[in-house]
Amino acid sequence: MKSNLIRLFLVFCTISTYAQKDGFFQFDYINYNTFSLGFASESSFHLGENEESSFDLDINSLHGVFFTKYTSLSAGLGINWHINKTHLTNYWLADFRWFLKSYGYESPYIFFQLGRNIKWNSSFPKGGVVRLGMGYTFELASGDSLWYLQIFRESKTSTLYNDLTSQYGEYSVLALGFSVGVIF
């Protein structure tokens, strides 16, 4: 783990050196704060329970950089509450966005997110999330920040304990969702 952090630091140092020489890379800080609602089109529990429909609420905060004028890379934390199974997941999330206009100012974009659940204790199950979607950033009258709307397709997995059978099972969700957020 320590050696991977050292390698990552060296890569960032190398990139920043080239950024100063040719101006291709632009390191500008970005912060995305998101509230999402997902509607499951499919969900199943490994031990035989299927659900017709479900939904979940999701809040996350991502911090990162624009490393070119059109692309950003961020990482952060989120919390998800799955309503039907009434369980919480807390996860780290990596986010990549490509904007049509420079620095994402009033621009359409596409994004890819990949995350892994953090298992703090027995009430937070292990698992992960993958999202692919598109969105649009816009400015409100105040002009202090950008807002965004996005739609996405996501796949989530969690390992849950079934009280009836006293066994662990894999809970999978394939969902469509939408988000609203603010960029600082």
Domain that holds residue 74: 25-183
Residue 1 located in a structural domain: no
In the predicted model, residues of the chain with pLDDT beneath 50 are 13, 16-22
Assigned domain for 18 exists? no
In a domain, 4, yes or no: no
pLDDT at 150: 96
d(CA 135, CA 153): 12
pLDDT of residue 174: 85
Identify the bridge partners of residue 136 per DSSP, sorted by sequence position: 108, 149
- Check residue 16 and give its pLDDT: 47
pTM listed for this prediction: 0.77
Number of structural domains (the chain) is 1
Residue with tokens 């990552």: 8
Answer yes or no: is 16 within a domain.
Answer: no
- How high is the pLDDT of residue 50? 56
Q: Does 88 map to a domain?
A: yes
Q: Is residue 12 part of a domain?
A: no
CB atoms within 10 A of CB 66: 21
Task: For residue 54, report the phi and psi dihedrals to the nearest 5 degrees.
Answer: -160, 170
Length, in residues, of the chain: 184
CA distance 44 to 160: 12
The widest CA-to-CA distance across the chain, in whole angstroms, is: 63
| pLDDT value for 178 | 95
Q: Which pLDDT value is given to residue 151? A: 97
CATH code, 108: 2.40.160
Asked if residues 176 and 101 have their Cβ atoms less than 8 Å apart, the reply is: no
